[in-house]
Structure 1
Amino acid sequence: MARRVRTPRVFQTIWNTQGLARYLFLTGVLITGVFVVFALLAPWIAPYDFAQRSVDGVRFPKLAGASGEHLLGTNDQFYDIFSRVIWGARTALLVVGLSILLSAVVGVPLGIVSGYTGGWFDRITVFLMDALYSFPSLLLAIVFSFLLRNAIGGGILAAALSLTAIYIPQYFRVVRNTTVAAREATYVEAARAIGAPPVTVMRKYVFGNVVQSVPVIGTLNAADALGTLAALGFLGLGIQPTEASEWGYDLSRALDDVSAGVFAPAFWPGLAIIALITGLTLVGEGLNETLNPALRRRRLRPVVLTPREEA
């Protein structure tokens, strides 16, 4: 007998939700999915490489308008704007995804250990995380960008690590506060009573109950991380143009062109930043209202009343 494939509970929850939250989530997924396709298929969608300025020894025209060879024109560095926008989607998603993953990998276990054990370790980690959290996020990213540029250069890894330092305290605080409440729960006390060691309790009983809010935080942080990455590139502290295509850098280079009446080099990278931030924000807000039982509106199943059989 064939086994029935069960749909994951998260997808069931989203499907059984109605109202604005569901449409926000689906709209955000659609917008973000377009950029994911751009990122994955960039070598096939973009007609040129992100740092390509010529074909067969013939240099691209400078600040050229839209044409068959250059769909969105070229910028002041002889780059094809369409290719830079497509390759920029890969850079943005790679940096943002890597930074959010590293932040969760560091912040979640640290928050669980700190909240469960307490004592001097908890006080020290809370003090350090609060100290990092007190700095403005952009200023902290600029400081780490300076430090990492001298160590590992101005590539994708340096940009991702600069953003990672911003979001570790957020994951730590949320997970640590949830762990403090969960360690007094009945099921945790029962696990300790039967002799389960602290590592087992944290791994099997605490982790699954405190990690539920992490995906929502990750999607909301992704939108903020994209804006911070664009700000670093705009200030010239992000990814170098020869390392990868980055929308913030292209936007900063296009400011002088805007004053001269040429808007395409600034319009398209700016539109890409706004569109992807909007998509990620809608995913985060929709996911928050979908997975939160206090905010979720469930889809009501129709009730079919059968006529009572006559005696």
Structure 2
Amino acid sequence: MALPGFGWTTRVWRTRGLARWMFWIGLAITAAFVVLAIFAPLIAPYGFAESRVDGVKLPKLAPPSSYFIFGTNDMFYDVFSRVVWGARTAMEVIVISVIFSVAIGVPLGLVAGFIGGVVDRVLVFLMDALYAFPSLLLAIVMAFLLNQKLGNGIVAAALSITVIYIPQYFRVVRNTTVSVREATYVEAARALGANPFTVMRKYLFGNVIQSVPVIGTLNAADALSTLAALGFLGMGIQPNEAAEWGYDLNRALDDPLIGVWWTGLFPGLAIVLLITGLTLVGEGLNETLNPALRRRRMLPVRFPARAGADERETEAGR
């Protein structure tokens, strides 16, 4: 039984086939990284920028062993600790960027679609201008501008990624609002004297928000790849601010030339696994919530008892 307001949970449970397996496998992978992010101080043996223990420096480029299960890198950091702390960084950036994108894009799309006119044209023009830029290039420009104001931390990285996804939420919500605003129940609310804010909040918001969770999960996977790209290019989070997998990959570029494979393998695997998990969740939700794609479980058919007919058949047999 689904919780009130969470009817999609019933649809997820009743869906069968590949969509259901995609969703649950992706959810399990994502949940594993969420656990790493939440309990990073307990799981990681060292801090994300800790190179000394009791005044003794950690070994440089030590191979995986019982002391350092993922080895160490050229900055004397424990790779396993960097991977674990990197999960927290990734989750923080993903959550902040998606929340800000939804908080800005959804209301703007709702207002533009409902009011129309000059407001709609101006907002559509601005969002199309942002959407015309390549996403990574736009993130690099915003990171360059924000790093000067906010530094090379998590908030600056998250906000630079936020700009990419605002137009996506705006376009989806705006198009849905345009098609729904002429519905009978909206006209009835207007006739009863409801003001535009009330109509948007009570009668439109619940109908246009249904596709946002699917977009959010897919954007989360893309946000992680963008974060890794920014870190790889040196425009993201610096190592003294937080652990970031893209930066660690950049530092490990030349290591395979000297036979050091572990410094780049484990951060790269973490990026691939988390992107895969988030993508599977998004695709599973899309096929589950979309009526055109959803395959439901076939429930058993039970006909009501025919007491009168059974009695007549018994008497006829006598």
TM-score between both structures, scaled by the size of structure 1 = 0.96
Gap change, CA 1:272 and 1:5, over 3 Å in 2: closer
Equivalent in the alignment of 1:154? 152
Distance of aligned partners of 1:86 and 1:6 in 2 relative to their CA distance in 1, 3 Å threshold? closer
Work out which of the residue numbers 101, 104, 112 in structure 1 matches 2:99. Answer: 101
AA matched with 2:73 = N
Decide which of 46, 49, 65 is 1:67's aligned counterpart: 65
Deviation string, structure 1 residues 90-124 (Cα, Å, up to 9, x no partner)? 00011011100000000000000011000111100
Cα deviation for residue 20 of structure 1 reads: 0.7
Equivalent of 1:45 in 43, 46, 60: 43
- Structure 1 SS opposite 2:254: helix
Tell me the amino acid that sits aligned with residue 238 of structure 2.
Answer: Q
Deviation at 1:302, TM superposition (A): 2.2
Structure 1 residues 293 and 85: alpha-carbon distance in aligned structure 2, compared to 1, 3 A threshold: same
Partner of 1:280: 278
- Which deviates more, 267-276 or 295-304? 295-304
**Distance of 1:113 and 1:263 partners within structure 2:** 52
- Using the alignment, how far apart are the partners of 1:304 and 1:151 within structure 2? 67
Q: Tell me what 2:224 maps to.
A: 226
Of 48, 54, 57, the residue aligned with 2:55 is 57
Q: Which consecutive residues of structure 2, in runs of 5 or more, have no partner in the other structure? A: none
Structure 1, unaligned stretches of length 5 or more?
none
Residues 49 and 239 in structure 2, CA contact (< 8 A), matched pair in contact too = yes
* 1:236 alignment counterpart: 234
Q: Report the alpha carbon displacement of residue 193 of structure 1 after superposing the two structures with TM.
A: 1.1
Q: Distance in 2 between matches of 1:196 and 1:265?
A: 61
Residue 248 (structure 2) pairs with residue 246 (structure 1): no
Deviation for aligned residue 1:67: 1.8
Q: Secondary structure at the match of 1:66?
A: coil
Alignment of 1:1-311 (within 5 A): 6=3, 8-304=6-302, 309=310, 310-311=313-314
TM-score, with length taken from structure 2: 0.94
Contact kept? 2:2, 2:9, Cα under 8 Å: no
Q: CA deviation at 1:294?
A: 1.1
Q: 2:33, 2:41 → 1: CA distance?
A: 14
Identity %: 67
Q: Distance in 2 between matches of 1:52 and 1:296?
A: 49
State the alpha-carbon separation in 2 of the partners of residues 128 and 251 from structure 1.
35
Distance across 2 between alignment mates of 1:108 and 1:264: 42
- 2:2–2:10 contact (8 Å) kept in structure 1: no
- Give 1:136's aligned amino acid: P
One-letter identity of the residue aligned with 2:253: L
Three-state SS of the structure 1 residue aligned to 2:209 is helix
Q: What displacement does 1:304 show?
A: 5.0
**CA apart distance, 1:48:** 0.5
- Within 2, Cα distance between the matches of 1:6 and 1:216? 19
**One-letter code aligned to 2:44:** A
- Aligned CA distance change for structure 1 residues 105 and 30 (closer, same or farther; 3 Å): same
Q: Whole-Å Cα distance in 2 between the matches of residues 258 and 116 of structure 1?
A: 56
Q: Name the CA shift for 1:5/1:218 in 2 (closer, same or farther; >3 Å).
A: closer
Pick closer, same or farther for the CA change 1:167–1:117 going to 2, 3 Å: same
User: CA 1:222–1:187 in structure 2 vs 1: closer, same or farther (change >3 Å)?
Assistant: same
Aligned CA-pair RMSD: 1.4
Partner-residue secondary structure (3-state), 1:177 = helix
Q: Give CA-to-partner distance per residue, 1:214-253, whole Å, 9 cap, x none.
A: 0000000010110000000000000010000000000000
Query: Which structure has the greater CA radius of gyration?
Result: 2
Q: CA deviation at 1:6?
A: 4.7
In 1, the alpha carbon distance for the partners of 2:97 and 2:185 equals 34
Match for 2:23: what amino acid?
A: F
**CA apart distance, 1:68:** 2.1
Describe the superposition over 1:71-104 as per-residue Cα deviations: whole angstroms up to 9, x where unpaired. Answer: 1100010000000000000000110111000000
